[in-house]
Structure 1
Amino acid sequence: MQPYEIFVGLRYTRAKRRNHFISFISVISMAGIALGVAALIVVLSVMNGFQKELRARILGVVSHVQISGPDHVLRQWREVEQRVLQHPGVRAAAPYVLGQGMLTHQGRVQGVVVRGIDPAAEIQVADVGRHMRAGSLEALQPGEFGIVLGIDLARLLGVFPGDKVVLVVPQGMVTPAGVLPRLKQFTVMGVFEVGMYEYDSGFALVHLADAQALFRLGEAVSGVRLKLDDLFAAPRMARELSAALPGDLYVSDWTRQHSNFFRAVEIEKRVMFIILTLIVAVAAFNIVSTLVMVVTDKRADIAILRTMGASPGSITGIFMVQGSLIGVIGTLLGVVGGVLLAWNVDVVVPFIESLFGIQFLAKDVYQISELPSELQSRDVFTIAGVSLALSLLATLYPSFRASRVNPAEALRYE
Structure 2
Amino acid sequence: MFKPLPLFVGLRYTRAKRRNHFISFISLTSMTGLTLGVMVLIVVLSVMNGFDRELKQRILGMVPHATISAAYGSIPDWQTLVNQVEQHEGVLKAAPFINNQGMLSAGGRVKGALIYGVEPAYEKQVSIVEKHIKSGSLDQLKGGEFGIILGDILARQLGLSTGDKVTLVLPEATTSPAGVFPRLKRFTLLSTFAVGAELDSNLAMIHIEDAARLKRLDGGVEGIRLLTDNLFEAPRLAWEVANSLPGRYYVRDWTRTHGSLFQAIKMEKTMVGLLLTLIIAVAAFNIVATLVMVVTDKQADIAILRTFGATASTIMGVFMVQGAVIGVFGTLLGVLLGVLIAPNVPELVGALESLLGTQFLSSDVYFISYLPSQLEWSDVGMVASAGLVMSFLATLYPAYRASKTEPAEALRYE
**Structure 1 length-normalised TM:** 0.91
Secondary structure, aligned partner of 2:88? coil
Cα distance, 1:238–1:306 mapped onto 2, change above 3 Å = farther
Shift, 1:243, TM fit: 6.1
Shift, 1:179, TM fit: 4.4
Shift, 1:19, TM fit: 1.4
Per the alignment, residue 237 of structure 1 pairs with 237
Per the alignment, residue 55 of structure 2 pairs with 54
Per the alignment, residue 388 of structure 1 pairs with 388
Distance in 2, matches of 1:26 and 1:163, equals 68
Per the alignment, residue 41 of structure 2 pairs with 40
State how 1:5-154 maps to structure 2 within 5 Å.
5-70=6-71, 73-74=74-75, 77=78, 80-154=81-155
Distance in 2, matches of 1:352 and 1:192, equals 28
Contact 1:60 1:194 in 2 (8 A): no
Distance in 1, matches of 2:356 and 2:207, equals 50
Shift, 1:247, TM fit: 9.5
Distance in 1, matches of 2:288 and 2:238, equals 53
Shift, 1:352, TM fit: 3.1
State how 1:190-209 maps to structure 2 within 5 Å.
190-196=191-197, 198-209=198-209
Contact 2:196 2:369 in 1 (8 A): no
Distance in 1, matches of 2:109 and 2:176, equals 27
Cα distance, 1:276–1:239 mapped onto 2, change above 3 Å = farther
Distance in 1, matches of 2:81 and 2:8, equals 71
Higher mean alpha-carbon deviation, 298-307 vs 370-379, is at: 298-307
Question: What letter corresponds to residue 130 of structure 2 in structure 1?
Answer: G
Distance in 2, matches of 1:217 and 1:242, equals 21
Contact 1:148 1:189 in 2 (8 A): yes
Distance in 2, matches of 1:58 and 1:130, equals 14
Shift, 1:217, TM fit: 1.5
Shift, 1:371, TM fit: 1.4
Cα distance, 1:386–1:95 mapped onto 2, change above 3 Å = same
Distance in 2, matches of 1:64 and 1:148, equals 22
Secondary structure, aligned partner of 2:291? helix
Shift, 1:121, TM fit: 0.5
Shift, 1:171, TM fit: 3.6
Contact 2:98 2:116 in 1 (8 A): yes
State how 1:309-320 maps to structure 2 within 5 Å.
309-320=309-320
Gaps of 5+ in 1: none
Paired residues, what number? 412
Secondary structure, aligned partner of 1:91? strand
Cα distance, 1:69–1:315 mapped onto 2, change above 3 Å = farther
Question: What letter corresponds to residue 6 of structure 1 in structure 2?
Answer: L
Distance in 2, matches of 1:353 and 1:189, equals 33
Shift, 1:248, TM fit: 5.1
Question: What letter corresponds to residue 265 of structure 1 in structure 2?
Answer: I
Distance in 2, matches of 1:403 and 1:120, equals 77
Higher mean alpha-carbon deviation, 379-388 vs 309-318, is at: 309-318
Distance in 1, matches of 2:73 and 2:37, equals 51
Distance in 2, matches of 1:359 and 1:56, equals 23
**Structure 2 length-normalised TM:** 0.91
Contact 2:149 2:193 in 1 (8 A): yes
Shift, 1:72, TM fit: 8.0
Contact 2:196 2:363 in 1 (8 A): no
Question: What letter corresponds to residue 117 of structure 1 in structure 2?
Answer: V
Shift, 1:47, TM fit: 1.6
Shift, 1:358, TM fit: 4.7
Cα distance, 1:183–1:356 mapped onto 2, change above 3 Å = closer
Per the alignment, residue 225 of structure 1 pairs with 225
Gaps of 5+ in 2: none
State how 1:294-333 maps to structure 2 within 5 Å.
294-333=294-333
Encode CA deviations 1:309-329: one digit per residue, 9 max, x unaligned. Answer: 332222222211110110111
Contact 2:153 2:364 in 1 (8 A): no
Contact 1:241 1:251 in 2 (8 A): no
